[in-house]
Amino acid sequence: MTEYLASRGLQRFSRFLIAAIVCGIGLVPLVMLASPWGPQGDTNRTIAIVLSVGSMGGAALWLAGWPSRQQSVLFVIGANAGVTVGCLIAGSPATGLLACITFAPIAGYVGLYHSSRLFAATLVNAVATTVFAGVRAAMAGDPALAVGHVVGLLIATLAVPVGSQLFLNLVTLDARMSNIDPLTGLRNRRGYDQSTVQLVAAADRSQVQWLVVMLVDLDGFKLVNDTHGHGFGDTVLLAVADNLRRSSAMSSIVARLGGEEFLVAELTEPDARLVCAERLREAVATMPYGVTASVGVAAVAVNDIDETAVAATIKRLGDAADAAMYEAKRAGGNQVRYRAGVS
């Protein structure tokens, strides 16, 4: 979700929206200090002020920038604790019960941005606090009001966040599967294009780096299938995919285009372009299946890539690497060829 918002330029809007919601929630305890139904006694009133200050701190966190995962988890824990305490210090049981509606936006946030475990913990806390507040309201003399409010609050707190997370999980799974090669688990062409654009966008342009694209095509793979069957061929492809992944840098983008063609994008030092390609060629040649690979290489300095035409540059590099790969094939295979002049 974070990557999606960043790719669409929506993180700034999302930050301000979340900060506004948190700030609004933080104003409630201050406003309730002037109400006879608000916190009573010096201790509870002091706690209400602390809760408001804490909410403003949470809003400031979002205004300062997109938080880290750890900061976000702490934000969720603090929000859960704050709402629970706020419900307990309300001046009347009915007011405390109504305050439980604040769990709805918290649960919605966790459902969108965090794990199912944290989401479940938030829901458990919301349900427990709501039920406890409902029991207090019932014991105060109006059980019908308590039951009605508890049911309504639980629907608001549970149904919308749970439905949102279920929908998000289904969309995320579909999006991931559409970017992944089903046989090898590597990226497919679409996943490669998207991930390589992100790789270039995240590159440190203050350093001298090159974007190297390497097209790896197995030599004589049709003979492997014809001789040993497609089941054995799939085994070879899985082994090649694993070796290419292991032989590439951690930040590399490794993809299978289909058949016996693989595409790898990597950020390297200026003089390491052919070293990277040779490493991939050796990763295939040293396998016990008797297969080799022809590797075509194309590269460009990251600082020479126009930030408004990254996708087009990546495509040109792929085409140049493909042409270089065929040069390696014509030279007998199991070789590396470099195609220069891509800009």
pLDDT in tens, 268-296: 988 888 899 999 999 999 988 889 999 99
Whether the per-residue pLDDT at 175 is higher than 70: the answer is no
Q: Taking all residues of the chain, what is their mean pLDDT, rounded to a whole number? A: 89
What was the pLDDT predicted at 250? 84
What was the pLDDT predicted at 31? 92
Specify whether 3 is catalytic.
no
Confidence of residue 181 (pLDDT cuts 50, 70, 90): confident
Annotated active-site residue in 3, 260, 261, 266: 260
Whether the per-residue pLDDT at 72 is higher than 70: the answer is yes
What was the pLDDT predicted at 4? 65
Whether the per-residue pLDDT at 261 is higher than 80: the answer is yes
pLDDT, tens only, 35-47 = 888 898 999 999 9
Listed range (4-18, 111-125, 300-314) with the worst mean pLDDT: 4-18
Whether the per-residue pLDDT at 99 is higher than 60: the answer is yes
Whether the per-residue pLDDT at 247 is higher than 70: the answer is yes
What was the pLDDT predicted at 273? 81
Whether the per-residue pLDDT at 165 is higher than 80: the answer is no
Q: How many residues does the chain have?
A: 343
Taking each helix axis from N to C end, the angle separating 273-285 and 230-247, rounded to the nearest 10 degrees, works out to 140
Confidence of residue 142 (pLDDT cuts 50, 70, 90): confident
pLDDT, tens only, 104-117 = 889 889 988 888 88
- 342 CB-near residues (< 8 Å, 6+ apart): 298, 299, 300, 313, 316, 317, 320
Whether the per-residue pLDDT at 7 is higher than 80: the answer is no
What was the pLDDT predicted at 189? 92
Residue 15, CA distances (Å) to 59, 108, 255 in order: 9, 15, 34
pTM: 0.53
